[in-house]
Every structure is written in structure tokens, then in C-alpha cells.
Structure 1
Amino acid sequence: MTIVNSAWDLPTPFTQNLSVGRDDIDGLGHVNNGVYVSWCQRVGWQHSVELGLNLDDYHQLDAAMVIRHAEYDYVAAAFLDEECEMATWLTASDQRLTMERRFQLKRARDGVTLLRARWQLVCIRLSNGKPRRMPPVFNQRYGPAVIATET
């Protein structure tokens, strides 16, 4: 898949191609908002795996980055059989407790942005759900992927 307008909001994204299937469509005939949220989760996890941290690692470390706050800006609709591409970036980290992840979804045929999203993430101890300092490996794996942004 080739995005017609390949300019992303931020440089060097991690991307994943997505195809709109029948199960993604709601009663209004377009992709359901919850599907966009699911796609963000899928691409965010794939990016984490690419950076060297997966769910097994989280369990072994008794630590995980979880969503504390999420914002989704639904810009335009996607429809059945359309091809899309989701980009994600880590855009902030205090290297102790919090990180930020952003997303942008584009339609392949015309490069139109369909969604922008932002997550505020916090590190927790999986065994009790309470905030904890990030293990050093989080900063080693995630830190180099964090890009500077103006906002």
C-alpha cells in the first residue's frame, strides 16, 4: 500500500497497514469509533514489540505502561474495503513514571487523515495496579524511540 500524500504529522513513524472489513462497519455505514481505538491499541503494541518489549516482558518485570488518559480526534470516516495506514510515535517520557504516545490514521487512496489520537501512559506494577518507577529496560528500549514535538 502506498499513501498518496505520505507526509505524516511527525517524522519517522512506526506504521502498520490496516484493511477495513465488514466487521469494522457500524450501523451508519462507516468504521465504528471503537474500531479506531482497537487499531490504536494494536499498532501501539506492535510498536512496543518492535522496540523489544512484549507482554511476556511486562509480566516478568511486574511492570506495564497503561493508558491514564486518551484523546481521539475523529477527522473523517473510513468505509468498507478501504486500505489505511496507522502511524504511531512515542512523543514524551519523563524516564520515571510517564510517557506519551500519538497516533495518526490515513486513508491510502488519497492520504486524508482520518484520526489523530494521544495517550498519556503511566507505569504500573502489574501485581497491584499501583504506579511504579519504570524499570531501566523501559528507558533503554523506549527512550531512543521518543521524538521531540512542539506540542
Structure 2
Amino acid sequence: MSEEDTGPIRIFQKRFTVPRTAIDRNGHVNNVVYVQWMQDLAIKHWQTVGGETVNRDNAATWVARSHHIEYLRPAFEGDELEALTWISNLRRVRSLRKYTFRRVGDKQIIARGETDWVFIDVQSGHPKPIPDSVPAILPISPDPA
């Protein structure tokens, strides 16, 4: 995970090894697993920047509205992957978060994705405006090269 000394984590990074449990009957990472990894990355990034305090102070949480994934190459058990996630935009009640999964060994991008997240009031279940404090801890970032 990276953080500049002067600011928030714009691009959250995590390295991990593909476990056997992620492999499907075709011998590569099951497509559904990427959705779980995307959610896990988003949650960890939010927690790392102090987002749980924002949730608590606003009686709110984030809910995934939609996912889109582009599968470029297969990943296999034992592959070391680097996953990156960042915020592409923040709107009134929604945020677009993007992801890239890269194999460390050959630096090949194996998948790209995005999730449209909605900020939700925990009592009503309805969308609620994203607080002004969020852009300071979760700034918009251009796609990494």
C-alpha cells in the first residue's frame, strides 16, 4: 500500500498470491472471484483512509450498485498479483472506483474493472449526499499508467 508523505492514499495497492480456492474447473481464477477481490480492495482502501469514521458520523455506508470487469488474461494458482484501486469520480451520492489486476512476474494486466458505489443512509436505505469530508480522504485520481 502506498501513501505519499503529504496526503491521502490516491491509489491503494495490495500484493497477494492467488490461492487454490480462487481456481475454477478451467484451471484459472474464477471470474466471480474478481468481484470479491474488488469489493475487498475498496473496503480496505476506505478503512485505511479513515472512512469508517465518516460512515459512523453520517450514519451511512457504501453499497455497490454495479460492477464491470474486463478479463484480459487468465491468472493461475500461485501467481503473485498486484491489485490497484482508485477513485475515478465523486458525484452527489455516487462514486466510480476503478481497479487493475497485474501479474507481478510478467507485469501483464490480467483484468480491469470498475464499480459504481452509492452512499446510503443506514436507517432509510436511500442514497444520501457524500459528505464534504470525503474528497479530502478519498481524492479523485487519474488512471495509473
> How many equivalent residue pairs?
134
TM-score of the two chains, using structure 1 as the length reference: 0.80
The whole-number CA distance in structure 2 between the counterparts of 1:76 and 1:65 is: 30
Q: Does 1:147 align with 2:141?
A: yes
Amino acid at match of 1:136: D
The whole-number CA distance in structure 2 between the counterparts of 1:104 and 1:29 is: 21
The whole-number CA distance in structure 2 between the counterparts of 1:13 and 1:132 is: 25
Residues 105 and 148 (structure 1 numbering): CA distance in 2 closer, same or farther, change over 3 Å? Answer: closer
Q: Which residue of 1 aligns with 2:50?
A: 52
Percent sequence identity over aligned pairs: 28
Aligned residue among 29, 32, 49 for 1:31? 29
4+ residue segments displaced more than 3 Å: none
Structure 1 gaps, min length 5: 1-11
Q: Once superposed, what is the RMSD of the aligned Cα atoms?
A: 1.7
TM-score of the two chains, using structure 2 as the length reference: 0.83
Deviation at 1:27, TM superposition (A): 0.8
Deviation at 1:58, TM superposition (A): 2.1
Q: Is the 8 A contact 1:26 1:32 kept in 2?
A: yes
Structure 2 gaps, min length 5: 1-9
